[in-house]
Structure 1
Amino acid sequence: MKPLIHPTEATYDYIADAIADKGYCVLPQLLHANLNNALQQRVMNLDEDDFKRAGIGREQDFQLNNTVRRDETRWLTLDNSIDKAYLDQMAEFRLAMNRRLFMGLFDYEAHYAHYAPGAFYKKHVDAFKGESNRVLTTVLYLNPEWQEADGGQLFIYAADSDTVIESVNPNFGCFVIFLSEQFPHEVVKSYRDRYSIAGWFRLHDPLQAPLI
């Protein structure tokens, strides 16, 4: 699938200013509608066996924990044209942020996430300071006609606090960006099937090969 560039330079300016000012940005839509639609159809057509139970920790510290999270994930790959169109778009996003914020973003990894009814992900951070090269988190939501009563909201917390500074409804096309180390966040219990793409821009680690 050929990527359809939707973000303008002014949009990238707005995102960079928001990240520099408060560390996060929530957009009702970022990508071209055709790409959002293709990604939504792609994730809906995946078989149940295509997803794996998500755990906590990485490599030797990986474990499943039903009290912390109950979502399922599948990594995006370059050998699928729709996945590649999204990853190409995120490559453009990476360059745009590096030009504006000098963050040194090196590569990007992303997975589809499925929250079945009753699934959640308790408050957590995507990267602990000094222990990860994930620096900027993105989330794209793929849920048409989502209602507030369906649950599944993303709560973004103030650093070192239980204060919720942003509640994001997982509406179709909504795109969220935040600094990975700075903001604890939570996905509250969903009452219907909820789909998204979670991704992370990373710094270069010569000892770790890119996942995608």
Structure 2
Amino acid sequence: MNISNINFQQMNQDLETKGWFCGEKILSDQSCETLTKLLKAKYDADNFIEGGVSKGLDLSIENRIRKSLVSWIEDWNENDELKQINIFFNDLMINLNEYFFLSMKRFESQFAIYEEGGFYKKHLDQHKQSPHRQMSCIFYLNDCLDGGELVVFNEKNRNEVDYVVKPKRGTFVLFISKTIFHEVLETRSPRFSLTTWFRDDEIIPFV
């Protein structure tokens, strides 16, 4: 994996002042291509499900709110690219914990596909069904040529648009899960991404 052009000092400052950070060409073209091949292989193997508004027992399919396909990452050792992504996310979590005095303990990730007509209405990532999500991040794996923009709303005024992210291959977005409302506009061409949430809880093993 090749991560470049990411300024952690600037990232921390942006999160502190406005609640979000965006950087272009952070993930290399080669890494994006490798992850896209894995995403497509999972799709061909029917490993994608319809995206819901929550996860697990509280999963709710609301086509009025969201239309996308997702595949959760269960094995970070599936290939070398995922191994390196796993290392990066662990390092990022340590950085965020130290800078913001957080206690995030783990992260969960999914591949996401927005096909033609896909969208996700304005929402927060931290809510009643997912209270432990602290930080959210997205790696865009391809150039979505038409639609699919991520609308980021102002941290202090949820009705004010702060920034519109064009989904380009290698772009990285990071934001605070409980304060940044965001929306995915309708896609008119395929949109591939790897989305991750950093959490402050631990996995409770089955006894």
| TM-score (norm. length: structure 1) | 0.85
For residues 30-79 of structure 1, what are the alpha-carbon distances to aligned partners after superposition, in whole Å with 9 as ceiling and x for unaligned?
23443233212222333341211111123333211111111000112223
Q: CA deviation at 1:94?
A: 1.2
One-letter amino acid matched to 1:111:
Q
Do the aligned residues in 1 keep the contact of 2:58 with 2:129 (CA within 8 Å)?
no
Counterparts of 1:104 and 1:172, CA distance in 2: 31
Question: Which residue in 1 is equivalent to 2:153?
Answer: 157
- What is the distance in 2 between the residues matched to 1:130 and 1:192? 31
**1:4 Cα deviation (Å)?**
4.4
In structure 2, how many angstroms separate the alpha carbons of the residues matched to 1:140 and 1:200? 12
Distance 1:42 1:58, change over 3 A: closer
AA in 2 matched with 1:79: N
Distance 1:43 1:162 in 2: 34
Instruction: Measure, in 2, the Cα distance between the counterparts of 1:100 and 1:52.
Output: 36
Q: Secondary structure at the match of 1:18?
A: helix
Q: Which amino acid aligns with 1:46?
A: K
Is 1:101 the counterpart of 2:92? The answer is: no
Equivalent of 2:18 in 5, 14, 22:
22
Is structure 2 residue 15 aligned with structure 1 residue 39? no
Kept in 1: contact 2:3–2:26 (CA 8 A): no
Letter in 2 for 1:132: P
Q: In 2, distance between residues paired with 1:151 and 1:5?
A: 26
User: Is 1:195 equivalent to 2:192 in the alignment?
Assistant: yes
Partners of 2:77 and 2:18 in 1: CA distance: 36
Aligned equivalent of 1:184:
181
Q: For 2:14 and 2:178, locate their aligned partners in 1 and report how far apart those are by CA, in whole Å.
A: 16
Structure 2 gap ranges (5+): none
The answer to whether the Cα contact below 8 Å between 2:4 and 2:28 also exists between their aligned partners in 1 is: yes
| Identical amino acids, percent of aligned pairs | 25
Alpha carbon RMSD of aligned pairs, Å?
A: 2.2
Classify the secondary structure of the residue corresponding to 1:47: helix
SS of equivalent residue, structure 1 residue 182: coil
Amino acid in structure 1 at the alignment position of 2:105: F
Q: Find the counterpart in structure 1 of residue 57 from structure 2.
A: 60
Aligned length in residues: 201
Q: Which moved more, 1:152-161 or 1:62-71?
A: 152-161
Q: Helix, strand or coil for the counterpart of 2:183?
A: strand
Q: How far did 1:165 drift?
A: 1.1
Change beyond 3 A, Cα 1:103–1:29: farther
SS of match in other structure, 1:55: coil
**Unaligned stretches of 5+ residues in structure 1:** none
Which residue of the other structure, out of 70, 76, 79, is the alignment partner of 1:78? Answer: 76
Deviation (angstroms), 1:104: 2.0
Aligned to 1:209: 204
- The CA deviation at 1:118 is 0.5
Q: Give the C-alpha shift of residue 92 in structure 1.
A: 1.4
Number of the residue aligned with 1:126: 125
Give, in whole Å, the separation in 2 of the partners of 1:209 and 1:195: 31
Structure-2-length-normalised TM-score: 0.87
